[in-house]
Structure 1
Amino acid sequence: MSQALQDEVQQIQGMLTRERLAVDLCDGKRTAFLTHIGAPPRLVPGPWIAQRQQVLALALANLSPGQRTSLAKAVVVEWGREFGVGRMVLSAIASGLPLGGSSLSMRPRTPGGDGSPHVLYTWALGARATPVEVDWLLLRAQPEWALDAGPRQIGVRGLETLAQLGGSVLILVPSAVAARQLADAVGGKLPLDSHPRFTPFLEHHEPNAALLLWPHDAIRASSLDKRRFSTVVLVGAPEPVRQEALRWASGRPGVELVDVACPGRVDRKALTRYWQACGRPKVLLRGDPEWAAQGQRWLEAIGATVAAHSEATQLGLF
């Protein structure tokens, strides 16, 4: 990486870590911009900013009194309208994810002109993500586009086939957004049960249905012992999650594991078009090391200048 590129990366990291704004991180002190439902690991009460649809969705969740107070005071923003926090000029941009999912356009506030670098922070991108011409595109490596031999997407027919094999199907997803995207892909054609964390965000929910949506991080929950599973479907699972699922399944004879991609996310063709529509910006890549390594090679192959931080997760880096 050239010195000039390193300097730009350090400037971007300063925008994300040393300003009054925190993206997808609630510490109760800095103003937190939430890109999607379930963004921070802990929704600590404090100053929040979110897109209108996300605020409405959060109102349905099981929040503590302190969280509800913060939600009532949250700054509600609309896609494409500029707002400011500290020395930053910001704009929420539709990420194509459900429930008000947003990317964040960021640039320094400078007197009488456009600040640089102009950065678009993304958590994940759906098929209808809105592009913005920027200097840098911040991407989190996702298996749908980063892997050379990525998992295939699963839909109604595949899930219906698995359900007919007997027993329940445990669908492990990384986030409430992924749970909603899978439910949208099913489109109410198959009954779905879900973890209480996800239920408020689903349009259809049927207790004890054969298909059970469950978080990656709750596979050791004792409530799963009450059900007999024939298949575990891993949606967007990095290798540590996959290994934990294998250990869990090893104690349940006959359980099969299937790796699938999250429905509604961009693949390589869609991300190429998106990157081009953003003006072919430089890319700052973060996320799972294995995914990021393959993703960097592919991004460079299509002509992108890439600065990679594959050793760090999104929240660890930013």
Structure 2
Amino acid sequence: MRKVVKDLNNIPASLVSKEAIDSLQNIIDTKDNSLIKSDIYRGKYLKTDGSKGDEVVEKLAEIYHGKCAYCEERTLIYIEHYRPKGNVQGSRHGGYYWLCYEWSNLLPACHECNKIGGSKGTQFPVSNKHLTHADCLTNNQKINPVKVKAAYLNSKEAPFLLHPEIDEPKEFLAFEIDANKNGVSIIGIDGIGGRGDKAIGICNLNRQPLLLNRLDYINNYVNTEIKKIFAKLSKGSISKEMFREEMKELFQKLDSHKTDEKRTFTLLRWFVMESADNFHKLAISNLPRNEQEVALAFFKAYKNGTL
């Protein structure tokens, strides 16, 4: 999960159309979430060539670069309601039906992060209480523009699930090599049972494919590249000066990757390059001891600008 900037004033037309407004009023009047129209929150429209498109899906795919808001893997985009539009698992809350077309409540998610049973589904635990539609009314307005925004609601409910457009994931999440060395685990760093831990559990962010795919990044884009440079030095195909330059170029490339939002696992990429300790534990701990020491020394020199 990474911090994402979404322009909440640049709302897809389908979400503010007359059809959407009329539909929302009907849903609120009846409190019937079965009346929610996926064509509206997906943004169905007819393209000039006669084919059909999904405006909201397309806009979220552009903003999130085709990645899941939670696990950061590239995915077929499914519209995820951060606050469930239906019933909320484990509570008597009837669901946030009045937020069904709210732009700040719509995120792109993969099937695995959002499926019912084992992942988010309709889970939405909070520290305070789940707000109802009545809690968000002002002067008998059916919808208050401020009180339906995710940032306002989060300030009142204190949800455990991180919202990538509101929260800074770096403050809650970190990474480590799995205890069995079968992958890279994501861990919470804001205390046991804190938002980091809860978010990981809610979306099942340590499922086996994710552990392995994160490890593949470490192995294929970091560890293997370092091994190649050491192998060239060992074979005498590069000089010590060239070795230094190649290590520097690799670190520069890894630094550029951590800010490239189009890449998968940008939080992991940032974490690996954030400190010498992170780099050592995740990227080079399986190298021979002498190579670990050399690579770590070069990394520290790169970080302090002396490489």
The TM-score with structure 1 as length reference comes to 0.24
Larger Rg: 2
Structure (1 or 2) with the greater helix fraction:
2
Structure (1 or 2) with the greater strand fraction:
1
